[in-house]
């Protein structure tokens, strides 16, 4: 179970707010190329134009979409398709706020995303669909420990860490 988040901080006066349409996947951000986007709060709404940029979720790493996991009986399952599906089901058409924390080396915005006050990055980790990406922050280590202990999601199987899988370790 996720803990309640502290009250949201007051949004600075110079923060711009952008609107975003529901995307096919969740990992899209609407402030691309817009002055002040580094400090943007992004809200999804149904009638906004489609976004043109992608974000990376802060301090977590999900299994790659083509990645497979190995169950205890020796069978493989396509675990890589589950994170995006689970997140899409979780958010549905409800508004989501993404608080930009950084920009990565590929120019993508890095953000913590929330829905109704719930940290979606933490939700993915505690549900077992992503791991804490300690290289970029230790924010979600306790959620990873909880998911691992409960054998949720990918933790119910053997898998290669996403960063190793991307480097060719299969």
pLDDT tens readout for residues 43-65: 443 333 345 557 789 999 999 99
Q: What pLDDT is recorded for position 36?
A: 39
Q: What pLDDT is recorded for position 40?
A: 40
Sign of CA dihedral 45, 46, 47, 51: positive
Q: What pLDDT is recorded for position 97?
A: 85
Q: What pLDDT is recorded for position 80?
A: 93
Q: What pLDDT is recorded for position 139?
A: 97
Catalytic residue among 56, 68, 99, 144: 56
Domain ranges of the chain: 17-166
List Cα–Cα distances, 93 to 45, 46, 55, 70, 127, in angstroms: 8, 8, 18, 33, 20
Check: CB of residue 168 under 8 Å from CB of residue 142: no
pLDDT tens track for 130-141: 999 999 999 999
More confident residue, 160 or 104: 160
Highest mean pLDDT among 14-18, 20-24, 106-110, 142-146: 142-146
pLDDT tens track for 88-114: 999 988 888 888 888 888 888 888 999
Catalytic residue among 16, 19, 54, 108: 108
Check: CB of residue 156 under 8 Å from CB of residue 167: no
Is 66 considered catalytic here?
no
Catalytic residue among 19, 54, 64, 152: 64
Q: Please list the residues that pair with 143 across neighbouring strands.
A: none
Is 99 considered catalytic here?
no
Q: State the residue for tokens 């489609």.
A: 50
Of residues 94, 134, 135, the one with CA closest to residue 113: 94
Is 167 considered catalytic here?
no
| CATH no. of 17-166 | 2.40.50.90
């Amino acid at each position: 179970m996720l803990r309640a988040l502290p009250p949201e901080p007051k949004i600075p006066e110079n923060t711009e707010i952008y609107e975003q349409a529901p995307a096919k996947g969740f990992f899209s951000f609407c402030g691309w190329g817009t002055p002040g986007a580094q400090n943007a709060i992004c809200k999804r709404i149904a009638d906004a134009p489609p976004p043109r940029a992608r974000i990376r979720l802060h301090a977590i790493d999900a299994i790659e979409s083509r990645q497979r996991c190995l169950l205890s009986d020796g069978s493989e399952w396509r675990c890589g398709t589950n994170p995006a599906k689970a997140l899409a089901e979780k958010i549905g058409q409800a508004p989501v706020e993404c608080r930009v924390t950084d920009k990565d080396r590929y120019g993508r915005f890095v953000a913590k995303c929330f829905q109704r006050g719930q940290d979606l990055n933490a939700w993915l980790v505690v549900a077992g669909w992503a791991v804490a990406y300690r290289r970029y922050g230790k924010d979600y280590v306790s959620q990873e420990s909880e998911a691992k202990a409960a054998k949720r999601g990918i933790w119910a199987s053997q898998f290669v860490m996403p960063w190793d899988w991307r480097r060719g370790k299969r």
